Structure 1
Amino acid sequence: MAPDNKKTEAPVKVNWQLARSMVEPLYAGQCLETGEPRMSHADGMASILRGIRDDDELIAAAYLSSVQDYLKNPEEWIEKSFGGKVLELCTDLQRLMKLSEQARSSNKEANAASQPEKLRKMLLAMCGDLRVVLLRLASRLQTLRWFVMHPSDDAKIYAAETLQLYSPLANRLGIWQMKWELEDLSLRFTRPEVYQEIVRHLDASRAERLAFVQQAVTKIRSLLAAHHIRGEVSGRSKHIYSIWLKMERKHLPFERLFDLRALRVIVDTVEQCYEVLSILNENFTAIQSEYDDYIAHPKPNGYRSLHTVVKASNGLPVEIQIRTREMHEFAELGFAAHWRYKEAGNSLGVNSAEEQKVVWLRQLLAWHSDVEPPRAPGVEDDLIYALTPMGRVVELAANSTPVDFAYMVHTQLGHRCRGAKVNGAIVPLTHKLKTGDTVEIIAAKSGGPSQDWMNPELGFAAMARTRGKVRTWFNQLHLQEQIARGRDELDTELARLGKSTYNLESLAKTLGFESVDDLCLTIAKDEISNRAIEAVVVPQTQKKAADEPVIPVKPAQPRAHHDNGQILVAGVGSLLTQLAKCCHPVPPDEIVGFVSRGRGVVVHRADCPNVKNLMEQSKERLIEVSWGEAPEDTLYPMEILVLARDRIGLLKDVTDVFIRLKINITNVNTQTVKNVARLKFGVEVAGAALMQQALKEILEVKGVISAHRS
């Protein structure tokens, strides 16, 4: 047996040290637009990321994210050397970098209107791999650190963008370790006077605060030991940016801020958190208005802790946070502490990874709403972003409903929508969606939409696009019903003519229709009669041309000049007679009489379809009649139907034929379907011979397909 040369490709083992050594010669002597050496920036990013997450792919991407500028085929090289995940991280990070540059250029041009759109594009770009956001935050933090050591006029621009975009993102993801530093450094460059003033105050009061905190830590440790609770008690520093926000919010100078003293207590279990809270309330005076239970009611970004403020023995307030070790890890690293991927040894598997991605996307979407500029009262966003259960981002108009959401995902899903769950709870179809909602559509296996969805006042669909799709569905349904009804009428007529097996495609083409459905639709709309079908499917006979099948239509009221003496009723004297308007008999047509109620004898052509029906229903009322002598100036009303290819001047050319033969035209009706003109003339002729002459000349007119009596 021949050896199998096909090898299974082994997954690439990522080595971030190898990545560093490979890019170092590429980055040598190269600098970013900020002036920072590329290699120094990459080392800084890697250092920041190692403090948050031990991830070789992530750190390798930090080093490789700029190789696109120096290699001919960087994507192929990165994927071959470090794998597809690292390539995806580098590609997404480059996209975010470019969008960030665009956002800054827009600000320079004072084009603030473009900023929301940049945020949306950035949001969607981040949805590939969750870790790309860490790369972007680490890159920005390293840039701000560089500006601290190397002041630049551009530092203020980067800092303002950080406060607008990146620190809210870090906050939403709960990565406070990066959030505080991003905010403090940004304040240093955007408001240097304020920053330096707060730093001076903190330095001046540092000794007093340290002594106070140390005393409080010692007392709380002894209380925990007395109650046999193992825990860590430590002081925590207030960040400069949060101090400034409080000064701005409460309009207070630094000297009047009494909550700069803060402690943190870390225990093993949630039960111990509440037990510690009870101990503190027993031994200190609690300020009840400052109590927050974020364990029972977590923040939107997932943060959990107990917050309380108590007064120490000297009457000064001190903030105390109480949390478990797991909560503390989350508080420091946020969602980065819990991200997992489908790797060897990962017991969570795909479903858990998908669930975590949905949670992450919800935080990212909420971040988008955080950084939008303030609006005037009554002004709302024009778009919202919702999620499918699998984490797909769906862009919708403001005030959209689950019905709108379903149609945006797929038209067929919208048609079959019967209910919805938003964030796991069943809601009515009129429910207004918000950015960050996870929407699950409950769909039937078959069926269609409701007509109520087309009424905007009922609130089922906020988007015109949705209502248009619903309207299209019902229009198509009505069209199919009309085609089905027309098909039934066509089958019935063909059965009556004994032509049930007649080729329908050929019939449709002969009558000028592109398809059988078009013919059936015209029949359903009563735009073509049964005689038009009969004229095609019944073969021409050797009868006189006056007897050939023609297309009957409802005629206009004709003028007729005849008297009863010209119709002879067999075996009876002169009776009240009139010519039937359905077939317009003309000498020498074979005729038959029908004794009507109140109208005397109605004279039909012998081949009139109505006579065939009368023979089946009231045969005893049919009588034999014949043409009698009539005055030479007697005129008989009749209708002529002309089918022709539509063109300019067609009606004039056909009318000229009647004028040349001195035939009086009493009325004309025209209609064009599929570029085929149907001309119906009401005329008065002295007999069949003149009528046949007229039909012969009409057939010679350019574009005429057929000309028949009706």
Structure 2
Amino acid sequence: MLDMERSFLESLFPPQRRVRVESYLQDILSDVQWTEVVEVHQELATILSRSIPADDVSREAAFWVSLFPHSSSQTIPHDLCPSPVREIVMGAQRILRLEAGSMEYQLESFIRLILNISDDPRTILVVLAEQLRLMRIFSRLSSEKQHHVLLWVHTVFTPIAHRLGLYTVKTELEERWLKYSDYETYRSIADKLEAKKDEREAFIRRFIAPIRRIMKKNNISCEIKGRSKSIYSIWKKMQKQNVDVDGIYDKFAIRIIITDQPREKEKEMCWKVYSLVTEKYRPFPKRLRDWISYPKSSGYESLHITVVTEEDHWVEVQIRTDRMDYIAENGHAAHWRYKEGGARTGDSDQIYLAQMRSALEHPDALEHAAHGLKDAFYSRDLYVFTPADELVRLRARATVLDFAFAIHSDLGFRCTGARVNGVYVSIREELKTGDVVEVLTSKKQHPTQEWLEFVQSPSALSRIKRYLREQEHRHAEEGREIIRRKFKALAVPLTDATLRKLCDAYNCEDTVELYDRVGEKKIDLLSLKKSFFAHDKDSGAGVAAPKESRFHGRQDNSLVIDNALDQVQFTLSKCCNPVRGDEVFGFITVNKGVTIHRMDCPNAAGLFKNAPHRIVSARWKEEDTARFLKELVLYCSGENEWVISQVTKRIKLTPQVRLIKIHMNDSLTPGVSTVELSLEVPHADTFTQIVEEFRRMAGIGSVYLP
């Protein structure tokens, strides 16, 4: 290791630790790697000394971050890195790893995440320093890295610098962002400002001269500066006002910094200067900003006024003391540098750290953030990581089980627990922001009703409930089939009375519960016959087993189902309303016998696909005289009375069709009315015939068949 490198380590570490750090670095770094680390850290250290005032802990943390940046999983030996430094390093590395992840998903929650990822706000100072370093070496980055850096800097880190009151850093990030994201616009504004630089500086000198004389006359010690506004701030005004550069009038600002004033006199002196300035130049009251009486959350204090010159030029004037100016330039982090008659103590450091965190959590500093970020600060979400460092957003009080379902339903269904930060926990364990969660599973695991008591996510609740319903339905179907086969073997007719006896024997509220319990193997099949006949014996009723099982069907006996010679209990499906003449099939239900559907029923394809074993053939008996109820709606545009007259006449002239109900309503469409009909028909062909006649009738626009 070279003397320069040893000198570098001596500036960071106390002697007792420096020797161990030096030995550790010699083991893990080549000479080339060491040179790169020194270069990166020197850039970070410069930023943390000049642009972002920081303490020794932050600068040492920046060294370890430069050594193990971004996606590295290298663990720093505990004896080389004190606890406060380690916490900052781990937090910064995690934030920087996020930067390389899924940008679109993380943007809306990123700011709130980094506030919770480390309890030490100095973590954010180190990350800000790294972002500023990357912007300063932007041309050396890969195109993909450039895209990521521009996105994060503009959307996240610039608002954070603003919130902390690091206005110098904020301005540099904004300027570089505009330069690298829209160079032509940046260059155009810069060239126009440069072209009128001499004219602008001459105006500033003319504006300041009388103010200097007034301050001197009133014995006010102050420094007066004039400066052009940043290219980015001018560009923002152009966007907001929809004008070009020449349309922006306040391209510069004047700063009056009052010096040598005791703290208790600061406010009084600022307002005195305000009074003197506005005696010379006409003020614009609507643009007065009093940040002295009501400082910003970042600690910013200043009096902003806009005045109008005799040439009708608008000029912004900022009035503050030298103390206010220093804090304004450096924000909360400036408390590590700025002394007011005493050395810094450990207690004061803690106060300043608390103030930094308070500023970050305060809402009014997000005025420049992207849309949606403000709401993210107040959401009750939390943010955890997969072992691969992927970010997962969950609602407050989310459990391990919520996390598993957020990754994938199958993972949730089989979840038995998790390793959270390396520690085994149950599926009930509540998570907190920053946890690293590894889900544990078992093929034997399945959801239970108990899960609904502690899961928080609506989507997880929905999936669990759906799973339980499907399981219950599946068990009921299996149980029904088991009972049917069992009683067929017993040669006992399975009537409603029989099922009621079984429900009573096993304390079931209804047949669905009975089927479900049988399907779940909660009722011993071997006990069915014993329980059934025991119940008959206790009730004094004898049961005669017939030679064959029969279903009691409809009185009209209009269908032959599954080629059975005897009547079978069935109902006509309401989803397609089959009538004689339609091609039909039967579907065996849990407790309603067989349901008859048309072959072209909207549900037919799903039934054939999902439960082909429950499909039975069905056909209409040739000699049957059953009649069927059919409903339709006529949309009419003619005279209502005439249309109804023609409709009823046509029904009377059609053999075997009987009008059951007729009802007329006004439609939502002007000039159109609806006529609802219920008809009794003997056959599908007859119904089709009369529908076609209605469609051909004058005054009827269309016919709707429910």
Larger radius of gyration: 1
Which structure ranks higher in relative contact order (CA pairs < 8 Å, sequence separation ≥ 6)?
2
Q: TM-score, normalised by structure 2?
A: 0.48
